[in-house]
Amino acid sequence: MRIVVCIKQVPETTNVTMDPETGTVVRSGLKSIVNPLDLFAIEAALLLREAHGGEVFIVCMGPPAADAAVREAIAMGCDRGVLVTDRKFAGSDTWVTSRVLASAIEANGPFDLLLFGERATDGDTGQVGPGVASFLDLPVVTYVSDLTLHDDVVTMRRLVETGYERYRCTMPVVVTVVKEIAYPRLPTLSGKKRARLAEVPVLSNTEFGLDETTIGLKGSPTRVEKIHKPRISREGERIVVRDESDALAAVDRIVAYLRENHLLMTGGAS
């Protein structure tokens, strides 16, 4: 069995800034890590390989520095990985990213199961997994919290707002997973040594031959027209109580505030 896990390198910060001209994330000067939610997909893949055998293959699209993300996945126990990088891919939205990843997966096929994290913490869209499934013409099940294999059938439990749903699907299939799926293991010392020495092939658009007008920022149908940073303001009234008369005045002010904002019930039983 061959499992492909698509991962992304993201900024290690919640203070992400956007380029107002391109509408893309400014990554320069920020430390990067493997998208935390992708670690759950990696762990799920490793558990399946331990139970059924096979190979876990990593595909990562990003700048040359994202080579570190592929090596971290190998240090966790993944078998091999490739880095998809090209200046022509810069500024790709989720549609173009999905198309490029699908091309990379096809170039490294065949495969049985594709795993993705629920979403990336920098974009927060959750669109790439289903997007890749669309380009590969495969079924997709999202928000999977548990999955088991029997022959070529995957049985899945899907997290929804009202509880869980059950699905059964023959492979190949694309699956996005949530945190409940498994707890990610830490890289081992031997894994880090193997990752440091591992060969990580680099794929560019030279291998895919995609029309340059359809990739990168130029080929992205999503356009950020305007960036607005919401102003967080909390206005309050401070009441200082020093003696009994201040306490009585404070109570009167609080009651008056509740009445003004229709938060105090009037009439009926108290």
Could you report the per-residue pLDDT of 67-78, keeping only the tens digit for each?
A: 999 999 999 999
Q: What CATH code is assigned to 2-219?
A: 3.40.50.620
Q: Out of 120-124, 178-182, 196-200, which region has the weakest mean confidence (pLDDT)?
A: 120-124
Q: Is the pLDDT at 268 greater than 60, yes or no?
A: no
Q: Is the pLDDT at 175 greater than 90, yes or no?
A: yes
pLDDT of residue 259: 87
- The tokens for 135 are 């380009």
Helix spans in 53-127 (H): 67-76, 94-107
Q: What percent of the chain is predicted at pLDDT more than 70? A: 91
Output the average pLDDT for the chain. Answer: 90
Q: Is the pLDDT at 270 greater than 50, yes or no?
A: no
pLDDT of residue 25: 63
Q: Is the pLDDT at 172 greater than 90, yes or no?
A: yes
pLDDT of residue 223: 77
Q: Is the pLDDT at 250 greater than 70, yes or no?
A: yes
- State the pTM of this model: 0.79
SS3 253: helix
The radius of gyration computed from the CA coordinates of the chain, to the nearest angstrom, equals: 25
Helix spans in the chain (H): 38-52, 67-76, 94-107, 128-136, 189-197, 205-208, 216-219, 244-260
pLDDT of residue 260: 87
pLDDT of residue 192: 96
User: Nearest to residue 192, comparing CAs of 48, 68, 84?
Assistant: 68
CB burial class (10 A; 0-12, 13-18, 19+) of residue 102? buried
How far is the C-alpha of 45 from the C-alpha of 98, rounded, in Å? 20
pLDDT of residue 103: 96
Q: How confident is the model at residue 26 (pLDDT cuts 50, 70, 90)?
A: low
pLDDT of residue 29: 63
pLDDT of residue 35: 93
> What pLDDT digit, counting tens, does each position of 194-237 carry?
999 999 999 999 999 999 999 998 899 987 777 777 776 777 88
